[in-house]
Structure 1
Amino acid sequence: MKIVLIHGQNHKGSSYHIGRMIENKLPGEKEVTEFFLPRDLNHFCVGCYRCIEDESQCPFYGEKKKMMDKVEEADLLIFTTPTYCMRASAPMKSFLDLTFSYWMVHKPRKVMFQKNAVVVTTAAGSGMRHALKDISNALFFWGIPKIKTYGVGVQAMNWAGVSDQKKSQIEKRTDRIARSLQRNHHPKAGMKTKVFFLMMRKMQQGNRGASISEKNYWEKEGWLGKVRPWQS
């Protein structure tokens, strides 16, 4: 199994440790790649829309491609972020902004419709629900069919400060997540994903996309006809 972890911080805090716990509990041979934000992609989207016409024209293409090549190859994606001011971290949000061309409304990638993803966030207090939604929404629009989320208030500023009782609760929850991932190793697109994709298909057919290059992309993939990205 190929696993990519994308951490919304450079340090190895509570959300990092929980993400690694889930990965460690998955059996079998694994190829694990980790990225840390902002270390591995320290840029903001500048809204130039060059990626809509040609992905390689993004000002930060080289760094982004290094990450997204691994993301596209992976079977499982694990996103971790601390909760900052009730939301996902700024570096994580910047990363998601830089991948908006992957959304179903633009130029989705077929491989995304066959992946599992897990989103983990921690907070000293609250706000985890909003932080999880920031990331899981983007992953849905990428086309990922199965997204597990786990937000937990750890009442601590770092992993060392998390109580033994809380760590025991986290162990049990990560056990359940890992078992679920084993059972659903080959996820299938659900009705919500299919309906949204077909809405975007109709939009592209009606020339209501952001660029003619999008319609050309969809046509090349066969999606304006009978082919669907979730089909093997």
Structure 2
Amino acid sequence: MKITVIHGQSHRGSSYHITQQIFDKISNTNKEIYEYFMPNDTPSFCVGCYQCIMKSESACPQAEKVQNIVASMEASDLIVINSPTYCLEMTGQLKTFFDHLGYMWLSHRPKPVMFQKIGIAISTAAGGGSKKVAKSIAKQLFWMGVPKVYRLNKNIKGSTWQTISNKMKESIDKETTKLSRKVEANIGIVRPGLGLRFLFTIMRSMQKSNNWNEVDKNYWKENGWLDKKRPW
């Protein structure tokens, strides 16, 4: 099993430890993990040049860093993205990375392989807001075509992994065990649900009448998606 994990922070706090628990509990003995830490692996800020959308993802000024992570995502069966909650949002460095992936959205040039993957969105908060952050991360994966995205969010009532209560750690242990089993049961067999299929149909209709971006429209044509072919 190949796994890409993107940490929305560089410190190894609660979100990191929860992610590690999930990896440890997945029984597959041939796990190959590609791991990235923000901000060290984060590309610079998106400058809104539209080069990735109007020309090619390789035309992005930050293409080298972005495409290194994207290649790992494409090669993986499971994509895990975590973030602590900063001011009720995901970390700025993680959002900076997501800003570079707009060209992969269903509205532009979604990758066919993304429709076969499982995602996990993880967030923790010392106070509140983790549910909103996990939902936001999951939304990003959904718009890239990932058909199954699990969410795990915990308001841990502590600023570090070491300061949270044993009761909270027991609750996390139960949730990570349950989640790892769900992943193992569904890896390789997920298919897009009605919501994703419906959105794909809407975007297909939009691309049929697309007279503003030849790169996007040609991409859909080449994949056969403007006809009867589908990426699942």
For the criterion TM > 0.5, the same-fold answer is yes
Structure 2 residue aligned with 1:197: 200
Q: Give the distance between the partners of 2:229 and 2:20, measured in 1 at CA.
A: 37
What SS does the aligned partner of 1:137 have? helix
Equivalent residue for 1:96?
98
TM-score between the two structures when normalised by the length of structure 2:
0.97
Give SS of 2:69's match.
Answer: helix
After TM superposition, give the deviation of residue 43 of structure 1 in Å. 1.3
CA distance in 2, matches of 1:69, 1:149: 23
SS in 1 for 2:216: helix
CA–CA distance in 2 between the matches of 1:4 and 1:171? 22
Asked whether the equivalents of residues 131 and 154 of structure 2 are also in contact (C-alpha less than 8 Å), the reply is no
> Partner of 1:204: helix, strand, or coil?
helix
- In the alignment, residue 56 of structure 1 is paired with which amino acid? S
Corresponding letter in the other structure for 2:190: P
1:130 to 111, 129, 132: 132
How far apart are 1:132 and its partner, in Å? 1.2
The letter for the 2-side match of 1:51 is: C
Question: Which deviates more, 127-136 or 31-40?
Answer: 127-136
SS in 2 for 1:228: coil
Alignment pair present for 1:11 and 2:11? yes
> Between the two proteins, what is the percent identity of the paired residues?
39
Q: Deviations for 1:146-178, whole angstroms, at most 9, x for unmatched residues?
A: 000011011111111111111111000000101
Tell me, in whole angstroms, the C-alpha distance in 1 between the residues paired with 2:150 and 2:205: 29
Structure 2: distance between partners of 1:54 and 1:144 = 22
Distance (Å, rounded) in 2 between the aligned partners of 1:145 and 1:42: 26
- Aligned-partner residue type, residue 109 of structure 1: K
Counting matched residue pairs gives 229
Structure 2 SS opposite 1:192: helix
Residue from 76, 80, 92 that aligns with 1:78:
80
Paired residue for 1:188? 191
Contact 2:5 2:33 in 1 (8 A): yes
Instruction: Tell me how large the CA RMSD over aligned residues is.
Output: 0.9
**TM-score normalised to structure 1 length:** 0.97
Give the C-alpha shift of residue 42 in structure 1: 3.9
Unaligned residue ranges in structure 2 (runs of 5+): none
